[in-house]
Amino acid sequence: MRTGASLLGLAKAVEKLAAHPACALDRTELAYQLPVLLAQIHRLQSTALKWLDEADAMGAYAVTGYPDSPTWLGHRSTCDYGLSTHLTWLAERLPHHPEVSEAVDACRFGIDHAGLLIRFLDDHAEDLADHPRRTALLAELLADAEHPDTAVLSESLLHCAQSLTPPAAAPAALTVAA
């Protein structure tokens, strides 16, 4: 797992977002969310190790055609019931956008950001529903993190934020220079 790279990406995203003129949250408010994400990254690492042990014990990677358990773990979102349950939960928590349901159906959400989002949305579901701008900021934050499928996820969250805002008062899409 690339925890260091992910955290560096998140830290850079916080700095960029806090400096953005359209950002409603300051650096402290954005950084306040990082411990939640960090805790989930550590929990995800433990879960990944447990999954690897289970894969070795069951020979799951051999049955599914992968050469070893790390490779199997990297593709587990296509065959793991627990993760697909979490992804379904995620799709139900967010408004029903085609981008979200299509990504879930195609198993394009990776293990890394699915776990992060499940915890984050669980802790902040009401905040996100009440504050569309926070959802847009989360989309931008995740887009800068170094996870494999965040472009799909970021786009879905941005659509989610826009749909929660009345059309007349819709905020302009936040773009952060790379």
Q: What are the extents of the domains in the chain?
A: 3-41+80-166
CA–CA distance, 27 with 16 (Å, rounded to integer): 9
Angstrom distances, CA of residue 173 to CA of 97, 114, 134, 159, 164: 17, 23, 12, 10, 13
The pLDDT, as a whole number, for residue 45 is: 61
The pLDDT, as a whole number, for residue 38 is: 57
The pLDDT, as a whole number, for residue 9 is: 60
The pLDDT, as a whole number, for residue 109 is: 45
The pLDDT, as a whole number, for residue 70 is: 59
Sites in the chain below the pLDDT cut of 70: 1-178
The pLDDT, as a whole number, for residue 172 is: 40
Neighbouring residues of 160: CB distance < 8 A, sequence distance ≥ 6: 94, 95, 97, 100, 135, 139
Report field, pTM of the whole predicted structure over 0.75: no
The pLDDT, as a whole number, for residue 49 is: 64
The pLDDT, as a whole number, for residue 128 is: 47
